[in-house]
Amino acid sequence: MTAPGPGGEAAVPVRQDLVEFEQMLGGDTIRAVPQGTVEFGRPLAYEIGLECFPPGFRALSDAGDWRYVRVVLPVTIGLLPGRRELTAMTVGLRRAAPDALALDLEPPRRVGADGLPAVLGSRPFGVTPPPPPDGAALGPGVAVEVSGHGGDSLGWTLRNATGGTLPAGTYVLGAVLRLPPSATVLSGELSASTSMRRPYLDAFRLSRPRTRHPEPFAVPIAVRERGRPAIEAREPAADETPEGTGSRRLCVAADAESYSSRDVRGQLDVQRRLVEVLEAATRYAGLDRNLWTTQPQGDGELALLPLGLDEPRAVADLLRELAVALRRLNRGLVPQARLRLRVAVHTGMVYPGRNGFAGSAVVQVCRLRDSDDLRRTLREAASADLGVALSEPIYEELRQLPSGLALDRFVRVSLDIAEKKFRAVTWLGPVEAD
């Protein structure tokens, strides 16, 4: 659970049981029997411009007197063991914000093997985005209903019209809302209800588990910058940050394996593919790379991520999507042609300078990335394309949430580089795509 949001509401991501209420035999006692789980991911809410709307809408006299906000909500449905089958699900968002008006709702899309679809762009109003690749589209026979146009209570329903089942897993819901221009926070309540078949004696019975109570949430609305929608708070321009003025930043350092052993053409190819992989991973992780402060290093990169992030969630999403992007890039290549990366993550005070970044956090993240221990970790994990070094604070934060990373494969290592007078504790391990 993350910290409380504005006004005391709980901020998501948060998990609830899906429960069925049963009356006990021979009495009036009602008990709640868990049948599955639902996890509401942290919604993204960001302003979009009128260019996303049809010309007729843009011509309305009051079209510019409102704030138009795109909402993206990931929801994960899980079933308890025991031959349970999901046949329908409904997710509701009530009281989206004072004076909110739903202008457009997207049919849900299922997250497939390659992770979260690229749902963050400013798609044209009223146009359903194409299904994501690699089998992530909804299966045949699945009927989709959306409700709530013109109101502040929205609903997304999926059911199998042929009597079959729905796959459990993560679905992405989307909507476009009209809000007052003074709105800075999107808040409301989330709920879920399902229809399941579960074993009962020698047959199956139909049950309708649902969340116990509506889940309140509140997230800031990212303000749109000219020329693009903002996913995160705006990063100050370089000339707005006085030299020597520090800030606490999430630092990510990446480097390609076996770069120096390649010829010039191969090195240029590694640089190109490195940038493509980083761009794809950040896009699918819901991070805006335009807001990163980066220091290119040929076969690698040092990046400072913007202020105001949910750091553990951003790290988990970024590493998962990096593993997926590398797997897709390397599919079908001979081993010596694969792009394999070492990535280190740390957080701490960073100070901008005339020729790059200064501060112990920057030094540490680069030392972790370039350590012999991390090189050995990646070399020994033959099936992985990504070796990761997490500083101890980052690792401890990731342990507190369902990150989707196999942290049990990480090993605690004490680094001691005498010639650099450097000592640090890190957690090393491979990250592979599911």
168-220, pLDDT tens digit by residue? Answer: 888 888 888 888 888 888 888 899 999 888 766 666 678 889 998 888 888 88
Q: How many Cβ atoms sit within 10 Å of the Cβ of residue 127? A: 11
Write a three-state SS string for the chain: CCCECHHHCECCCEEEEEEEEEECCCCCCEEEEEEEEEEECCCEEEECCHHHCCHHHHCCCCHHHCEEEEEEEEEEEEECCCCCEEEEEEEEEECCCCCCEEEEEEEEEECECCECCCCCCCCCCCCCCCCCCCCCCCCCCEEEEEECCCCCCEEEEEEECCCCCECCEEEEEEEEEEECCCCCEEEEEEEEEEEEEEEECCEEEEECCEECCCEEEEEECECCECCECCCCCCCCCHHHCCCCCCEEEEEEEEEECCCCCCCHHHHHHHHHHHHHHHHHHHHHCCCCHHHCEEEECCCEEEEECCCCCCHHHHHHHHHHHHHHHHHHHHCCCCHHHCCCEEEEEEEEEEEEECCEEECHHHHHHHHHHCCHHHHHHHHHCCCCCEEEEEEHHHHHHHCCCCCCCCHHHCEEEEEEEHHHCEEEEEEEEECCCC
Positive/negative CA dihedral, 18, 24, 28, 29 = negative
Residue 149: predicted pLDDT? 80
Residues of the chain with CATH 2.60.40: 6-220
Arithmetic mean of pLDDT over the chain? 78
CATH domain 6-220 topology = Immunoglobulin-like (2.60.40)
CATH 3.30.70.1230 fits 238-430, yes or no: yes
431 — phi, psi (to 5°)? -125, 120
Amino acid 385: pLDDT: 93
Backbone φ/ψ region at 343: left (φ over 0), alpha (ψ -120 to 50), beta: beta
The residues, any chain, with a CB within 8 Å of residue 397's CB and separated by 6 or more, are 311, 312, 315
Residues forming CATH 3.30.70.1230 domain(s) in the chain: 238-430
What is the C-alpha to C-alpha distance for residues 25 and 33, in angstroms, rounded to an integer? Answer: 14
Distance CA 132, CA 114 (A): 9
Q: Are 230 and 222 in contact (CB under 8 A)?
A: yes
Average pLDDT for 391-403 = 87
Q: Which of 430, 358, 432, 375 is closest to 255 using CA atoms? A: 375
Residue of 17 and 97 predicted with greater confidence? 17
**Residue 389, pLDDT score:** 94
Positive/negative CA dihedral, 119, 124, 126, 130: negative
Question: Residue holding tokens 């999430």?
Answer: 250
Percent of the chain with pLDDT over 70: 78
Give the pLDDT of residue 24: 56
| More confident of the two residues 423 and 59 | 423
Q: Is the preceding omega at residue 13 within 30 degrees of 0, hence cis? A: yes
Residue 1 has pLDDT above 70, yes or no: no
Least confident among 50-54, 305-309, 353-357, 419-423: 50-54
Say what the pLDDT of residue 2 is: 43
Q: What are phi and psi of 247, to 5 degrees?
A: -150, 155
First to last CA, the chain: 24
Q: Are 124 and 175 in contact (CB under 8 A)?
A: no
Q: Which pLDDT band holds residue 390 (cuts at 50, 70, 90)?
A: very high
